[in-house]
């Protein structure tokens, strides 16, 4: 809640909803700005209160790395739920929604002594920001009491709480900054794509206690800003890691909810960083969400993340710039390559290798079409294949765009032939990586080579089988001296699995004639170096 304080001391975050005393400073003072001359003329003998709702946003310093509190913009609180209450008893008088400029207005009959609540919540689509360390209470900004005996204006500004050296005042802007990032992303799709997506209710958890520790989310131990499959969690611990003003990070996490509900992601998640040779499902999910942040916030294409003491540390990268260096390890398993290819397909900035521009609608169409329905896994291959299918006249240009990242014999990507990566020649230095999907039929066996001693989120611990359905039940068995698991998928849906701490696994599943099933052989080999797994498909 935006906590307990004198009801006449300015605006606050109300104790009814959010814990912790937070006093609001608006329009440059500790009192809300109240002035005559509201918007329009009220009906006769009825009071009117109108105004503008704003929140402060802190810029990132790309030279010093970190937040620059000397550069603060005021941005409108858009699409938010706004309530007018009787100041004497908190009884609800009326509700409205702020517009694209953050403006609101009320006219009513009855008491003239009122106050305003501004919820960190939007209705279309439904998004709300809650405090996971306070029983998921919704953040609400409350004004001081106002006597409206003639048309008046009441403007509210949610301030950062920064005193010059620390957050010595309540951090009122934070939940509204988090809300606006998600609202911006959702509105871009609702306003610019066809058919418009139907977004379910989204809950975002932010708290001043949220920190990069593993433990209980109710205590703020959220690990990192992340999507957990149901909700988004956002870091907020001062002098450790705060993400409320890292707008690209916020849109990135919103992107994972978009994948979950609107399109499809087969990624298991996991650790990922620059230059990692990733499970291609993870590479696509993370790279797509990075690209999405640049698409939504275009022309601001610089992904930045502030952290550390005084929020004066961090990193940034320009999604528009294509990194094909050997240190980036470009290829179909690279988060960096994915983000560059997806964003360049979207944008209109022509480069020698990039003459493709499909805009948001073009990316969206592939995401809800070919990528969502692919019998393969959600990797860069079905995305590019879908683009080429939707834009046959641009097929050569798309190949050139992708080929820009095919820099060497080991690292890179070939022109995409289909969703399965057929014909791909780049192994990323992993001799067992190809073919990307190993074709198998009943009564066949194959020896796979995995790489032990590395994270299970990396390519070396993941192999993929493409098994053709017969109309009967098939059985896939593994034999290895190291622990491996088997997971069976049909168009991204997990049908069955075998996941003990053994290398001897068997999984059975019913099949449809001609249907393609994917079996992920996931390794957990602990000893550094290659190890072998025998796979057999039996009726």
Tell me which residue of 399, 433, 437, 403 sits closest to 420, measured CA to CA: 437
Q: What is the pLDDT of residue 21?
A: 28
pTM score of the predicted model: 0.92
Is 255 strand, coil or helix? Answer: helix
Tell me which residue of 510, 532, 513 sits closest to 521, measured CA to CA: 532
Residue 165 and residue 443: Cα distance in Å, rounded?
69
The CA-based angle 75-80-81, given to 5 degrees, is 150
Q: Which two tokens stand for residue 38?
A: 């509201």
Residue 139 and residue 141: Cα distance in Å, rounded?
7
Region label for 270, one of left (φ > 0), alpha (ψ between -120 and 50) or beta (otherwise): left
Residue 481 and residue 464: Cα distance in Å, rounded?
19
45 CB-near residues (< 8 Å, 6+ apart)? none
Cα–Cα distances in angstroms (integers) from residue 421 to residues 283, 289, 376, 407, in the given order: 15, 21, 9, 17
Element (H, E) at 85: strand 80-86
Q: What is the pLDDT of residue 24?
A: 32
Q: Check: CB of residue 471 under 8 Å from CB of residue 511.
A: yes
Q: Check: CB of residue 294 under 8 Å from CB of residue 301.
A: yes
Half-sphere exposure of 299 (CA within 13 A, CB side): 2
Q: What is the pLDDT of residue 14?
A: 44
Q: Which two tokens stand for residue 77?
A: 């609180």
Residue 84 and residue 115: Cα distance in Å, rounded?
6
Tell me which residue of 163, 79, 153 sits closest to 122, measured CA to CA: 79
Q: What is the pLDDT of residue 15?
A: 34
Which residue matches tokens 């499809």? 264
Half-sphere exposure of 95 (CA within 13 A, CB side): 10
Q: Is 401 exposed, middle or buried (0-12, 13-18, 19+ CB in 10 A)?
A: buried
Tell me which residue of 230, 199, 32 sits closest to 130, measured CA to CA: 230
Q: What is the pLDDT of residue 409?
A: 82
DSSP one-letter code for 511: -
The per-residue pLDDT string of the chain (539 residues; one tens digit each, 9 = 90 and over) reads: 333 222 222 344 543 333 232 333 233 333 333 333 344 454 556 789 999 999 999 999 999 999 999 999 999 999 999 999 999 999 999 999 999 999 999 999 999 999 999 999 999 999 999 999 999 999 999 999 999 999 999 999 999 999 999 999 999 999 999 999 999 999 999 999 999 999 999 999 999 999 999 999 999 999 999 999 999 999 999 999 999 999 999 999 999 999 999 999 999 999 999 999 999 999 999 999 999 999 999 999 999 999 999 999 999 999 999 999 999 999 999 999 999 999 999 999 989 999 999 999 999 999 999 999 999 999 999 999 999 999 999 999 999 999 999 867 899 999 999 999 999 999 999 999 999 999 999 999 999 999 999 999 999 999 999 999 999 999 999 999 999 999 999 999 999 999 999 999 999 999 999 999 999 999 999 999 999 999 999 99
Region label for 359, one of left (φ > 0), alpha (ψ between -120 and 50) or beta (otherwise): left
């Amino acid at each position: 809640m935006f906590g307990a304080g004198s009801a006449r001391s300015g605006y606050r975050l109300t104790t009814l909803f959010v814990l912790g005393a937070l006093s609001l400073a608006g329009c440059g003072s500790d009192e809300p700005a109240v002035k005559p001359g509201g918007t329009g003329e009220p009906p006769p003998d009825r009071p009117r209160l109108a105004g503008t709702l704003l929140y402060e946003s802190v810029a990132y310093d790309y030279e010093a790395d970190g937040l620059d509190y000397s550069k603060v913009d005021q941005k409108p609180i858009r699409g938010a739920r706004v309530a007018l209450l009787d100041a004497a008893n908190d009884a609800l008088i009326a509700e409205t929604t702020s517009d694209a400029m953050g403006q609101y207005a009320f006219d009513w009959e009855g008491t003239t002594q009122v106050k305003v609540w501004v919820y960190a919540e939007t209705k279309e689509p439904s998004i709300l920001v809650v405090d996971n360390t306070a029983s998921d209470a919704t953040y609400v900004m409350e004004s001081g009491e106002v006597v409206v005996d003639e048309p008046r204006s009441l403007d509210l500004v949610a301030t950062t709480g920064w005193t010059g050296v620390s957050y010595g005042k309540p951090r009122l802007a934070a939940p509204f900054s988090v809300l606006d990032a998600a609202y911006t992303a959702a509105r871009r799709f609702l306003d610019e794509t066809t058919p418009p997506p139907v977004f379910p209710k989204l809950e975002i958890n932010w708290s001043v206690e949220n920190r990069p520790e593993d433990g209980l989310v109710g205590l703020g131990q959220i690990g990192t800003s992340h999507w957990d499959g149901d909700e988004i969690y956002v870091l907020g611990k001062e002098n450790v890691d705060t993400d409320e003003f890292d707008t690209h990070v916020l849109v990135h996490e919103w992107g994972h909810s978009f994948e979950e509900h609107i399109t499809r992601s087969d990624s298991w998640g996991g650790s990922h960083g620059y230059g990692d040779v990733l499970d291609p499902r993870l590479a696509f999910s993370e790279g797509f969400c990075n690209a999405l942040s640049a698409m939504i916030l275009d022309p601001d294409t610089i992904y930045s993340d502030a952290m550390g003491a005084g929020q004066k540390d961090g990193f940034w990268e320009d999604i528009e710039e294509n990194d094909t260096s050997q240190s980036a390890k470009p290829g179909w398993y690279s988060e960096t390559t994915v983000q560059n290819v997806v964003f360049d397909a979207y944008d209109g900035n022509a480069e020698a290798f990039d003459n493709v521009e499909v805009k948001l609608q073009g990316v969206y169409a592939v995401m809800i079409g070919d990528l969502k329905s692919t019998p393969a896994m959600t990797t860069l291959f079905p995305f590019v294949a879908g683009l080429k299918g939707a834009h046959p006249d641009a097929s050569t240009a798309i190949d050139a765009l992708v080929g820009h990242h095919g820099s060497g014999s080991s690292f890179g990507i070939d022109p995409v032939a289909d969703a399965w990566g057929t014909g791909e020649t780049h192994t990323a230095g992993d001799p067992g990586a190809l073919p990307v999907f190993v074709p198998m039929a009943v009564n066949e066996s194959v020896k796979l080579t995995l790489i032990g001693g590395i994270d299970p989120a990396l390519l070396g611990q993941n192999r993929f089988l493409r098994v053709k359905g017969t109309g009967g039940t098939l059985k896939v068995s593994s034999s290895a001296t190291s622990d491996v698991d088997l997971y069976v998928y049909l168009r991204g849906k997990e049908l069955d699995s075998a996941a003990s701490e053994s290398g001897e696994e068997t999984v059975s599943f019913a099949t449809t004639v001609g249907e393609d099933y994917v079996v992920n052989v996931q390794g957990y080999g602990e000893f550094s170096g290659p190890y072998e797994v025998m796979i057999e498909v039996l009726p």
